[in-house]
Amino acid sequence: MKQNGQHIILDAFGCKSKILDDADKLEKLLLRAIDALGMEVISSHFHRFEPHGVTGTIVISTSHFSIHTWPENGYAAMDLYTCGNQELRSEVDVLLKELGSENVNLYELKRGSEIGEFPEMNHICLPTADLVDSDSNSPKEALKQFRKNKGNTWDQIQLKQILTGKFQKIHQSKSDFQDILLMEANDIRLYLDQELQFSSLDERCYHEALIHPAMALAGSRENVLILGGGDGLGLREVLAYPEVKKVDLVDIDPVMIKFASTIPEMISLNQGAFQDQRVTVHIDDAKRYLAKNKNAYDVIIIDFPDPVNSLLAELYTTEVFKDISRSLRRGGMIVCQSNSPEDAPEVFWSIGETFKSAGLKTEPYQVIVPSFGFWGFHLASPEKIDRSNLLITAAHNTLPEDLQHLFTFTEEVLKKQQDALSNSMKSLTLHELYKKSLSNYERAN
């Protein structure tokens, strides 16, 4: 028998109290799962407490299954461990549906290896009664909404529509910083806190626009810094340049990095970017990394989340942009994702104004990303930016043949430039402008 094994520890919430208080029923459910997995039972003992609650353990030839319940709280704690080749997850899903669990925290450990791996943590939301197909008694393949809506209104509406149709959940988990949901419908989509980050159908429109103009205009491309971008999709584009010798990628969320470097669908999308020997990942806060950084970079790519709150707005400040400028080599180029110049023009132009307050010259540009509409970016440098001979040498698929079109804006968008404000730690305004733009957009639509 192999010493390697699978160990699942889970907290199941919202379970049916009647089942949780029935020792015989619980024993039958666990024995059924063990039988389905083809494992041998050595002994089984279940005990019901008064006034309620059950504890039970089944010893199997490959270790054990155990459960302890709190029917009054609809909560069950389970510990399932087996060595050998059995894959527990399929039977765990069946068991959780039998218990009527609404959501689960599941921790999966790989056992028996000398190379320690930290637990894989997943937060699973199971279908509820309001998602039952009227033509059958089986629940639709859909996820229950998170208990607290976090995404913007339109992403929530779009996500709800997808969840009521056919889709495949590839990965769902929680980190200390965000909810992570990777799903496949007609495409593969990443949602963070229920807000759409990318669709595999058009993410190259965004990432090619983010990376290639700055890489093309920089005097050198040997050393690159990426701030954010934990999905590895921007990193993929940077690595398309053979002259790149070193890339430092800074992201605060270790769960995001692990997910992007281990989930097969993500590895396929980012082309295994995190396995490239040129890449060093730094799990750190961008501000802290910049404050202590001693390296100089030819290109610095800022792929921060939108400034939806004051904490994220602090990333787009004069102080941070000055630190970024100090980390830039002479002849270097900075690029920053800057939200939508059409839907959030005050935010877009204010990011440019903040770069100027840090002593940098800017060139704004935009592309169309079908999932988001027009999306804007700012190039920034201590020196005047000459884009007249912009030529991209790396392979790309979505950028226009005439790259100068990227730098063209409508008169309506250009007029909004007069409303731009500089964002600093002393005068933190960007998140308020973001909320205002979102509110205006929702009213208009």
Cβ-based neighbour number of residue 72 at 10 Å: 12
Alpha carbon 30 to its chain's center: 34
- Cα distances from 34 to residues 7, 48, 143, 224, in angstroms, run 14, 21, 26, 51
Q: Residue 386 CB: number of other CB atoms within 10 A?
A: 10
> How is residue 210 written in tokens?
């983010």
The total of other beta-carbon atoms located within 10 Å of residue 141's CB is: 15
Whether 284 sits among the annotated catalytic residues: the reply is no
Q: Position 183: which residue type?
A: M
Distances (CA, A) of 224 to 159, 298, 380: 35, 6, 15
Q: Which two tokens stand for residue 317?
A: 């400040």
Nearest one of 192, 175, 75, 191 to 119, comparing CA atoms: 175
For the chain, the residue count is: 445
* Amino acid at site 264: P
CA distance 435 to 445: 15
Rounded to whole angstroms, how far apart are CA atoms 44 and 31?
A: 9
Residue whose structure tokens are 């992570």:
180
Point out the catalytic residue in the list 155, 303, 306, 343.
303
- Estimate the crossing angle of helix 345-357 against helix 318-326, to 10 degrees: 50
Q: Are 377 and 210 in contact (CB under 8 A)?
A: yes
Catalytically annotated residues: 303
